[in-house]
Structure 1
Amino acid sequence: MRVPTMLSDIDQLPTLQVGDYTLQFDLGEPTAQGKEVAIKELRETPERQKEAAKELARLLEAETDLLYPKGNEEWLIRYLRPCKYYPESARDLIKRYYSFKVKHSDVYNNLKPSNEANIFKHNILTVFPNRDQCGRRILVLELGKRWKHKQVTLDEVFKGAVLFLEAAMLEPETQICGAVVIFDMDGLSLQQTWQFTPPFAKRIVDWLQDSVPLRIKAIHIVNQPKIFQVVFALFKPFLKEKLRSRIIFHGTDRESLHKYMSPKCLPAAYGGFREASRIDSDQWYQLLLKCDSEFDTINSYGYKKK
């Protein structure tokens, strides 16, 4: 399979059959809903897209230490969309994104699905097969009862989330509509809270706040016990107002969650009535494995090693 930096390069999208459901990445044209969001929220028009891509390409010429697929307009649009087609902002996002990868090279070096089987085996991180009512991808992390912290480190959890979001960045629909994250903290123990440290908290906040080329529209905290306040206290000092305002605490109040996410998009576990089976993380992993070589290409971009 060739590298999905340009949609026209792909002969056949990777798919995985799960029961009656075909699991795949949405690499085709945006939906009608997505196109409407692009116009209203991102200022996207064919003319602006061409002009902004041309200007961003010009700005990146000054980044002589940066390796990227030159001449690839779709790669440029991937960064222009979260920046509402302001080329200078997209250039700065690209620089922050790849600088973050350099700073945390211990996490990003050779990061690809085939090297991260453990996190998926434990089934604490998954993506719903459906999107929410706004067309956003839904990423779920269950860091309570499901998380065996002696077998899965928080660094592995972070790597799994990165792999999912790197894949999501390839989807035009997700580039436009963004993603939401559900942290399900049901059963969080004192021993698990001790795994969180200020450096880890700062890395996560820096990543979400400044370095992810994706629209993270909301972070929903559900089923959290009182002890979760200890964990959140580590994150609070690093949060800017924009991200802080998008973190919403619901506890076990499903009506509160439904103010932001339609029950039609949620399974019964979250008070919804979507009947589709949960897609376990190992099932997503089988699909991600089919894209292993694409992650090699993703890893080949960035600042040249000194």
Structure 2
Amino acid sequence: MNSLKIKMTTRYECTLSPELLEKAVTELHEPRDNAERLKAIDELKNSYNAEKYGPLIRDDDGFILRFLRAKKFNQKKALTVLQNYHSVKKEFHQIFDKVHNPAVLEPLINSHVILTFQGQAKDGAAIMWYRPGMLDREIDIYDLMAYSVLTIEKMLESEACQINGLASVEDLEHFSISMLFKISPIALARMNSIWQDAMPLRFKAVHILNEGKVYDIILALFKPFLKQKIIDRIHTHGSKINSLHEFVDQAVLPPELGGTGPDGESTGKWWIEKLTEDWTKDTAL
């Protein structure tokens, strides 16, 4: 393996709240001492095989730290995800060409099919809201995948999300099952390899609403590609939106989900502003 030279750049300094730090230490085995944390970061950087996977897309401490947190500071597991991350970026050009040119996703982004809430679940997890029933039936599945990657990457900029993890609320109302059969097994395998094997992500829960009979078909399609721990974290609520309130305070949820928080339109405007805040001026949206 290539040994990367650690650049003399500004090093990570811990600014976590006492509560978040305690959770990182107790649940993720993150070193409390920053010198030890930096040592773990440097070890992962030096283990990365640049000859095989290409140069690191980013080598700043904050980026590398995401992978360590995602795998509870297990160096071997973190290295696998870091290298998988770089591998999929090269292999799945149908997705990542669009991730790198988000202007092509403008209609999808403006549709508000994927949003995030401004608050968190009761366990602290960040929440992604997915409404596939709003999709155009002619949607390109790789467009949708690219937008979901953009969303996750943005959410992972938050250290709270890295530590507390992410949950999704997926409302299947008005979802057409015919859309599923347009997804090839190859596309399904690619999608799941990205989520489960290549993103520095702690997936805490999936909450399914209004699933009806379509859920059995969806699970049958996806189950062969899903790890058991993900399947175990799926909660189905049917039309009983109130059961979602056991996991997420009503103040966080929009009225569409029985909450008192900002509605979907307001949430959409907020999310697009946040998603695009660091984009260059020549990136249209």
Report the TM range for the smaller structure's normalisation.
0.7 to 0.9
2:67 corresponds to:
79
Equivalent positions of 1:138-157 (< 5 A) are 138-144=127-133, 146-150=134-138, 152-157=139-144
Number of equivalenced pairs:
267
Indicate whether 1:133 and 2:130 are aligned.
no
The equivalent position to 1:289 in structure 2, one of 263, 268, 276, is 276
Indicate whether 1:115 and 2:115 are aligned.
no
Deviation at 1:214, TM superposition (A): 1.3
AA matched with 2:20: G
2:85–2:198 contact (8 Å) kept in structure 1: yes
RMSD: 2.7
Equivalent positions of 1:209-224 (< 5 A) are 209-224=196-211
Indicate whether 1:94 and 2:82 are aligned.
yes
Indicate whether 1:245 and 2:232 are aligned.
yes
CA pair 282-70 structure 1, distance change in 2 beyond 3 A: closer
Structure 2-normalised TM-score?
A: 0.83
Structure 1-normalised TM-score?
A: 0.77
1:198–1:235 contact (8 Å) kept in structure 2: no
Larger displacement relative to structure 2 (224-233 or 177-186): 224-233
Deviations 1:195-244 (A, max 9, x none): 33322322222222211111111111111131232222110111221111
Give the 3-state SS of the residue equivalent to 1:128 in structure 2: strand
CA distance in 2, matches of 1:198, 1:32: 45
CA distance in 2, matches of 1:241, 1:179: 17
Of structures 1 and 2, the one scoring higher in RCO (CA 8 A, sep 6+) is 1
CA distance in 1, matches of 2:162, 2:280: 22
Runs of 4+ in 1 over 4 A off after TM superposition: none
Deviations 1:65-103 (A, max 9, x none): 431267632222121111111222211110111112222
* Unmatched tracts of structure 1, length 5 or more: 1-6, 10-27, 297-306
AA matched with 1:135: G
2:207–2:237 contact (8 Å) kept in structure 1: yes
Give the 3-state SS of the residue equivalent to 1:56 in structure 2: helix
Deviations 1:21-74 (A, max 9, x none): xxxxxxx943443223212211122254123112212212x4334312676322
CA pair 71-142 structure 1, distance change in 2 beyond 3 A: closer
Deviation at 1:280, TM superposition (A): 4.2
2:45 corresponds to:
57
Deviation at 1:275, TM superposition (A): 3.0
CA distance in 2, matches of 1:51, 1:158: 34
CA distance in 1, matches of 2:104, 2:176: 28
* Unmatched tracts of structure 2, length 5 or more: 1-8
Aligned-residue sequence identity (percent) comes to 24
Give the 3-state SS of the residue equivalent to 2:230 in structure 1: helix
